[in-house]
Homo-oligomer: A and B are copies of this chain.
Amino acid sequence: MSGSGERLYRASEFARAAGVTVRALHHYDRLGLLKPKRRTASGYRLYGEGDFVRLQQIVTLKFIGFPLKQIKDVLDRDRPDLRTALRFQRIILAEKGRRLAQAVRAIEEAEVLLAAGTEPGREAFAKIIEVIEMQNDTDWTKKYYSEEAQARIAERQKTIPREVVEQGQRDWMALIAEVEAAAAEGVEPESARAQALAARWSELIRGFTGGDPEIQKGLNKMYSDPQWGAPFPKPYSDEAGAFIQSAMAASKK
């Protein structure tokens, strides 16, 4: 008997089988994202079946748009956090998609204009661009916040140290996860558990607004606007949103 049993693949075989390049394998290796099972005495990389599975996962997550660093995290550390990560990613992609669609529409607009005026004169060109520019103008914040409040928000963002922001995001992620769970389980909005969640929720919001009432007002406007979702993507499901809203409403009564 040979003792080992499992078949090993060399770099190029392995790469072809998985649909990536050898260079990519090197790259993943150096990043510690995917290290070959063995190496020959002369340094040749030898990959096994397990490596293949992992590479598939990497490719898949990459397809979904995860950066390699995060793929490494998800695969190595907090696999259970996959759920949150997925939702997060989906929302980001959806947002990208919206902008992309906008760009396409803008181009179409421009094409129509160009088709109308047969030749794109130097001035016509400028006008076309202006038109695109108008529709592009993403002035959504203006819809919700007064100029002042906007300035304050921007300023506030600058004064917050980066680490705090990141910690805050992690807090949000954690809380959202719990809220999602509660919503899914059908917890009563009046229950103590829901009330606790609502309290933490508004606590975090206060943390974000810094207690500025103007900003609070803007946020509330956004929340009550049925057009929700346009300004910035919400990192939680509709169900969770509805749940936390009714919970907070219940707390006011």
Contacts and interface: CB of A to CB of B under 8 A. Distances in A.
A125 B89 CA distance: 16
A39 interface: no
Q: A93, A94, A104, A130: which has the most chain B beta carbons within 10 Å?
A: A104
Q: Is the interface of A mostly helix, strand, loop or mixed?
A: helix
A82 B96 CA distance: 25
Contacts of A119: 80
Given A86-B107, A108-B90, A114-B83, A129 B97 contact: no
What class of interface size applies to chain A in its complex with B? Answer: 35 or more
Interface in A92-118: 93-94, 96-97, 100-101, 103-104, 106-108, 110-111, 114-115
Nearest to A181: B118
A136 interface: yes
Interface stretch (A3-11, A29-37, A52-60, A218-226): A52-60
Given A64-B132, A120-B80, A86 B100 contact: no
Given A57-B126, A60-B129, A80-B120, A111 B86 contact: yes
Q: A65, A82, A89, A126: which has the most chain B beta carbons within 10 Å?
A: A82
A242 to B, nearest CB: 17
Given A80-B119, A120-B83, A132-B60, A97 B104 contact: yes
A103 B86 CA distance: 11
A86 B114 contact: yes
A87 interface: yes
A206 interface: no
A73 interface: no
Nearest to A107: B90
Nearest to A99: B63
A59 B137 CA distance: 11
Interface in A59-92: 59-61, 63-65, 79-80, 82-83, 86-87, 89-90
Interface of A: 53, 56-57, 59-61, 63-65, 79-80, 82-83, 86-87, 89-90, 93-94, 96-97, 100-101, 103-104, 106-108, 110-111, 114-115, 119-120, 122, 125-126, 128-130, 132-133, 136, 184
